[in-house]
């Protein structure tokens, strides 16, 4: 698995397809922190949102990297489609973690915040970034060319799903009460925003854990569904 992940990362870097999403991420973070000083928790909540979208973009580009014949040859070599797809997903996860570190460290290095980042706020912010990155990867996996053969359906469906997931809280507010629960099927990208922006950052006990648990549970279920569907395609 280790060699397969190294191969996937090397192949992705050599393809240069990494450049658009990563360049956009760096630019967005730079633009976001153009004005200083910034509130810590709100800023990290916003950059986690950006990472959610960029991770989805990275995932769909890595999963579309190998031609079908190359994918079949690799599968025959390693003996399992699951290992092949998991190595791809882990590769995206590694890139997302690197971007998480950049989003976390950049404002600290350049003194963009009004206060010092405490250990508690730092840990919660890192977890929120990583969980939203995993969510973005899971959502994008269902719209990859492995599952959807049409490029229009793949990119169009992913873009629409991401927009709807970001607007989920607003959708919930305008829906009639008897169908409000339908938002639970929407990727919960926005569900951690409210508790984070209302959190004072003093103690983790004052922060509702359910939104974070729901995000990672939802993402793992979607990834499991992707692996099941991918083996049939």
pLDDT at 4: 83
* pLDDT tops 80 at residue 71: no
* pLDDT tops 80 at residue 232: no
Q: Is the pTM of this model over 0.85?
A: yes
* pLDDT tops 70 at residue 98: yes
Using pLDDT thresholds of 50, 70 and 90, give the confidence band for residue 35: confident
Asked if 112 and 33 count as a contact pair (C-beta separation under 8 A), the reply is: yes
126-157 confidence digits (pLDDT tens): 999 999 999 999 999 999 888 887 888 888 88
Q: Kindly give, in sequence order, each residue whose CB lies less than 8 Å from that of residue 229, ignoring residues fewer than 6 positions away.
A: 142, 147
Provide mean pLDDT across the span 37-50.
Answer: 91
Q: Which of 34-38, 57-61, 214-218 has the lowest mean pLDDT?
A: 34-38
* pLDDT tops 90 at residue 23: yes
């Amino acid at each position: 698995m280790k060699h397969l992940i190294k191969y996937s990362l090397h192949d992705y870097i050599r393809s240069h397809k990494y450049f658009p999403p990563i360049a956009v991420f760096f630019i967005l973070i730079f633009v976001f922190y153009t004005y200083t000083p910034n509130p810590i928790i709100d800023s990290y909540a916003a950059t986690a949102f950006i990472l959610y979208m960029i991770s989805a973009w990275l995932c769909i580009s890595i999963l579309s990297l190998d031609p079908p014949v190359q994918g079949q040859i690799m599968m025959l070599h390693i003996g399992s489609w699951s290992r092949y797809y998991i190595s791809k997903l882990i590769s995206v996860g590694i890139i997302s973690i690197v971007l998480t570190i950049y989003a976390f460290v950049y404002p600290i290095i350049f003194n963009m915040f009004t206060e010092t980042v405490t250990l508690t706020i730092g840990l919660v912010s890192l977890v929120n970034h990583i969980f939203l990155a995993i969510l973005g990867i899971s959502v994008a996996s269902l719209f990859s060319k492995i599952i959807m053969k049409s490029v229009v359906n793949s990119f169009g469906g992913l873009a629409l799903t991401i927009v709807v997931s970001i607007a989920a809280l607003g959708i919930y507010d305008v829906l009639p009460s008897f169908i409000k629960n339908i938002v639970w099927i929407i990727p919960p990208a926005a569900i951690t925003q409210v508790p984070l922006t209302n959190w004072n950052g003093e103690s983790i006990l004052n922060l509702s854990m359910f939104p974070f648990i729901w995000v990672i549970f939802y993402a793992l279920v979607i990834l499991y569904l992707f692996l099941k569907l991918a083996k049939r395609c």
